[in-house]
Chain A
Amino acid sequence: MAPVTPRSGDAIFSSIDRVNAELFTLTYGAIVRQLLTDLEEVEEVNNLLDQMGYNIGIRLIDEFLAKSGVSICVDFKETVEMIAKVGFKMFLGVTASVTSWDADGTCCSIILEDNPLAEFVELPDTCQGLYYCNVLSGVIRGALEMVSMKTEVTWTRDVLRGDDAYELQVKLLKQVAEEYLYKDDE
């Protein structure tokens, strides 16, 4: 059987249930603010946002796969391109581009010019060190881990810190094979 061409991000985005982006942006902002109040260290807030994103990625990957029709994610390069092109579009309604692949195809950058998560956001000076959009890096890490790719995702550019775009570096650490978990008690 010939592999099915995945549906385009635009087509999926226009067919799924959508909500007003303000609700999304403001809710995220309120969560970040509450975490900054509850925790002393900005670094801890970064970690929790990343962890939250990871858990979100674990759930969203199945919706991504079911709605896009992507049935195989073995090649890292193809998978990242697919997540950037189809995934970002179908969930956030924006397009992300993938650049700066290294020679062996295990490290690249995802660039986001338009980021609904950070709309209307201005960071006060007291938030130095905060990666406001850290939830996104967690989502990507969680989603990729569910398709057996352990990655390290780090921010290399951030508009809220004065850069001209949002850029995440995604580095493949290893691909995890499926385990047969029953062997111990046989």
Chain B
Amino acid sequence: MQFFGGSEISPSPPVPTASGNNAHMMYVFNRNGVCLLYKEWNRPLHTLNPQQDHKLMFGLLFSLKSLTAKMDPVNADKGNLGVPQLPGQGCSFHSFRTNTYKLSFMETPSGIKIILVTHPKTGDLREALKYIYSLYVEYVVKNPIYCPGSPIKSELFNTALDQYVRSIS
């Protein structure tokens, strides 16, 4: 995108977006592919309905993971393309970047997938995603009225998450 073309030359801190926040959107999926949470901060463009959107994101991660493992030049532990892997099996990717956004991804051995889409110049978010996972544990898993596997409806979690994500640069 031309808009960011100029900033490539001089090393400057990440350009803050209009809301003063680098995050575009976030997804949390569980091991069964259920979208437990979708949140957006800055997403002017919606081309799909939410169900299609979630499905596409889950499919993208699924295919990309199997692709990255298949292309692994050093590790023998690779499955066949398209054959399901165990969560954590083979190598995995943790982010990719396009000219308009960066997608950071974390998957826990229990199959929780956390996806954060941010400004393309955002730094390494692996620690940030781990922190978000710990928020999930504290406020979602430990909420007595939360039923595991159901969509997250927790004000405490939403507030803590929102506050943290807005602080990511």
User: Please, what's the 1-or-0 string for B12-34, where 1 marks a CB less than 8 Å from any CB in chain A?
Assistant: 00000000000000000001110
B133 within 8 A of A: yes
B55, B88, B109 — most chain A CB neighbours (10 Å): B109
Contact B84 A180 (CB under 8 A): yes
> Which of B2-10, B40-48, B115-123, B134-142 touches A?
B134-142
A106 within 8 A of B: no
| A70-B33 contact, Cβ under 8 Å, with A62-B137, A178-B86, A182-B58 | no
A103 within 8 A of B: no
CA of A176 to CA of B87 in the docked complex: distance in angstroms?
9
CA of A60 to CA of B116 in the docked complex: distance in angstroms?
24
Q: What's the tally of chain B residues with a CB closer than 8 Å to chain A?
A: 27
> Which residues, 64 to 106 on B, are CB-close (under 8 Å) to A?
83-89
How many residue pairs link A and B with beta carbons under 8 A? The number is 79
B119 nearest CB across to chain A (Å): 23
> Which of A7-15, A71-79, A154-162, A165-173 touches B?
A71-79
Main SS of chain B's interface residues? Answer: loop
Contact B134 A147 (CB under 8 A): no
Contact B84 A177 (CB under 8 A): yes
Contact B55 A182 (CB under 8 A): yes
A15 nearest CB across to chain B (Å): 12
CA of A101 to CA of B141 in the docked complex: distance in angstroms?
33
> Which residues, 94 to 118 on A, are CB-close (under 8 Å) to B?
none
CA of A6 to CA of B59 in the docked complex: distance in angstroms?
30
B108 within 8 A of A: yes
Q: Which A residues form the contact surface with B (CB < 8 A)?
A: 55, 58-59, 61-63, 65-67, 70-74, 146-148, 175-182
Cross-chain pairs A/B with CB under 8 angstroms, 16 sampled: A59-B141, A61-B110, A62-B137, A65-B110, A67-B137, A74-B89, A147-B87, A147-B110, A148-B86, A148-B109, A176-B86, A177-B85, A178-B84, A178-B86, A179-B32, A179-B33
